[in-house]
């Protein structure tokens, strides 16, 4: 695979998971400029550096390593297209900070309070008439 393809995949994964050159470089044992040059296709990378970067992904952004490998194997697009909303939410929660988690839980609680209805003729998952238990406005972390 050409180095420009590796660089563009690296850039896409880093952008998607909001991984900074400085953080990846620090953990992988290189410098941020080298990471930038790889992403731009100006430099290639050794097997050792690639391994270090993948291990750094594990620490910085769970899921990033898997996406990078799948994209390198040519299956990343199918993976992204087949993801459900729940999969995407779970992926975002994995990299969210405490404030984002709190906002997410408040949004879920609000949605739950409104009730939900499954739009199928044979489903019994209708909660519109049930009163959900009280959920505090502020959830302690």
Residues 115 and 66 in one domain: no
Domain assignment present for 91: no
How many Å apart are CA 60 and CA 116, to the nearest integer? 35
Q: How many domains would you assign to the chain?
A: 2
The pLDDT tens digits for 22-56 are: 999 999 999 999 999 999 989 988 999 999 999 99
DSSP per position, 78-132: HHHHH--HHHHHHHHHHH--HHHHHHHHHHHHHHHHH--B---TT---B-TTS-P
Helix (H) / strand (E) element for 12: namely helix 3-17
Average of per-residue pLDDT across 137-141: 50
Domain assignment present for 67: yes
* pLDDT number for residue 137: 53
| Domain-terminating residue out of 50, 82, 114 | 82
Global pTM? 0.54
């Amino acid at each position: 695979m050409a180095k420009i393809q590796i660089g563009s995949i690296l850039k896409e994964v880093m952008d998607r998971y909001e991984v900074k050159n400085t953080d990846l470089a620090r953990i992988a044992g290189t410098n941020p400029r080298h990471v930038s040059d790889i992403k731009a296709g100006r430099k290639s990378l050794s097997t050792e550096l690639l391994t270090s970067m993948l291990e750094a992904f594990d620490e910085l952004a769970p899921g990033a390593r898997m996406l990078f490998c799948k994209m390198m194997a040519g299956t990343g697009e199918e993976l992204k297209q087949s993801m459900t909303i729940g999969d995407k939410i779970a992926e975002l929660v994995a990299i969210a900070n405490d404030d984002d988690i709190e906002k997410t839980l408040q949004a879920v609680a609000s949605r739950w309070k409104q009730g939900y209805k499954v739009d199928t003729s044979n489903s019994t998952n209708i909660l519109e008439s049930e009163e959900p238990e009280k959920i505090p406005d502020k959830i302690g972390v």
